[in-house]
Structures are given as C-alpha cells and as structure tokens.
C-alpha cells in the first residue's frame, strides 16, 4: 500500500509542478493564450481524479486496519472467557469468608456472609424462625444485599450489531453518501420501531432509494434480521 500511495503522491506533485511552471512562464511572458484555460482545466481534473483515487486507497487501508482490530478484540474476548471459566464456581463460597461466618467478638455477632450470586429461590428455602420462636436478642435488622438493590438493566434493540464492518462501509458509502452521522441517526430511528414492517415503511417514505437494487435489498435483509 505504501508504494502505491507514494506513486500517487509523485503523480500529484508532477501535475501540480507542471501547472505551476506553466503559470510562471505565462506571467513572465505577459501573454495569455486561450489554450491555457483548457490545459489548466485538464490538469485540475487530473489532480482531482488522483486525489479521489488516493482517498479510496486510504479507505481501503482503514478497512484492513479495522478488520485487524476486530480480530484482535475477538481474540482478547475469547481469552477473557477462558479465564472466567476457570474461576471458582458461582455457588462456591470463598474459603476466607467461611472463617468469618457466624463468628462472635466480645458479644457482637458479625452478619453472616451471603454470596450475592446465589439464587434468591435457594435463599428462600433456608429454615427461618417463626416470630414465636424468636427472642428480642435474635431479632436483627435485615440489611438488603447489593444484589437486592441492583435491578437488571433493560437491553435495547441495537440493529447496528447485525451489520458487519465491510457492510457498514458499503451502506454508508452507497446509501448515505459516505456520511457516517447520517447512517447512525437512521439506525437510531429504526431502533424505535417495534417490528420490521414499520421500519421498512419508514425507509420507503423518507429515503429516496431504488429499493430494487442489491445494496438496498441487502440493507433491508440486515434490518429484518435485527427484528427477528
């Protein structure tokens, strides 16, 4: 890639220097023929073409780097999962807490250790004293555990997870004029719908696309998969 990029740089520099020399010669001569304009337009068009090709080359390099990054993150995640599987099982109490369980110091009873990962149903099956069996000394305030206070987070639909990295670049370039922010805003709007039919109707009403083209059909397939 670096050799190809250097070639584009050299070709750009040659075109720019050629135009510069032509301008300097005309300025020194004092004459300005009409052929200068057509020659200059051709050179500027060639410069613009080379710049666009250099831009596409840069995008391809970014795709490769992003692919390598995704692969690296995937490997890190797999290693992390392997480490987590080797950790103590969820139901096992850590030994260092067993020495603390029901231990008394100068008449003060430390609260019994409770594993926050133990199922609530298992806790409810433990034998509990009835009010008639409890004495005033046995009655202690119940301190809610951290697991009781934290409610599970509500997961929202994220259609972008179903789009691969290569498809994301393709849809962004072909459907959203290479505007990443416009594509992100559209995905946020589609996430608000309850089913695919509503999302498709919204796209047909607000997007000036040819829905018979392969790229639009692929985009709709990805959206349909997200609502499945």
Report, in this order, helix, strand and coil percent for the chain, each rounded to 5: 65, 0, 35
pLDDT tens profile 195-213: 999 999 999 999 999 999 9
**Cβ proximity of 149 and 143 under 8 Å:** no
Query: Could you tell me the end-to-end alpha-carbon distance of the chain, in angstroms, rounded to an integer?
Result: 41
Q: Which whole-number Å values give the CA distances from 160 to 60, 124, 182, 225, in the listed order? A: 21, 41, 13, 11
With cut-offs at 50, 70 and 90, classify the pLDDT of residue 38.
confident
Q: What is residue 75's predicted lDDT score, i.e. its pLDDT?
A: 85
Max Cα separation, the chain?
A: 115
Say which residue, 75 or 154, is predicted with more confidence: 75
Cα of 162 vs its chain's centroid, Å: 11
C-alpha span between 198 and 177 (Å, rounded) = 24
**Cβ proximity of 134 and 28 under 8 Å:** no
pTM for this one? 0.34
Enumerate long-range contacts of 166-170, CB under 8 Å, 24 or more apart: 166/63, 167/218, 167/222, 169/59, 169/63, 170/215, 170/218
């Amino acid at each position: 890639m670096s050799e190809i990029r250097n070639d584009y740089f050299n070709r750009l520099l040659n075109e720019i220097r050629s135009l510069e020399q032509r301008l300097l010669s005309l300025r020194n001569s004092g004459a300005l023929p009409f052929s200068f304009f057509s020659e200059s337009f051709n050179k500027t068009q060639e410069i613009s073409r080379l710049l666009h090709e250099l831009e596409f080359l840069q995008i391809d390099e970014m795709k490769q780097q992003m692919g390598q990054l995704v692969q690296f993150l995937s490997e890190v995640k797999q290693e992390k999962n392997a480490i987590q599987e080797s950790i103590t099982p969820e139901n096992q109490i850590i030994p260092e807490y067993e020495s603390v369980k029901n231990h008394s110091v100068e008449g003060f009873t430390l609260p019994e250790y409770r594993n926050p990962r133990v199922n609530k149903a298992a806790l409810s099956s433990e034998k509990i004293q009835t009010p008639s069996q409890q004495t005033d000394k046995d009655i202690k305030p119940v301190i809610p555990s951290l697991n009781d206070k934290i409610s599970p987070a509500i997961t929202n639909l994220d259609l972008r997870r179903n789009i691969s990295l290569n498809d994301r670049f393709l849809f962004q370039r072909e459907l959203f004029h290479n505007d990443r922010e416009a594509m992100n805003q559209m995905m946020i709007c589609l996430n608000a719908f309850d089913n695919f039919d509503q999302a498709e109707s919204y796209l047909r009403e607000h997007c000036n696309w040819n829905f018979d083209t392969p790229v639009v059909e692929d985009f709709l397939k990805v959206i349909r998969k997200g609502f499945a």
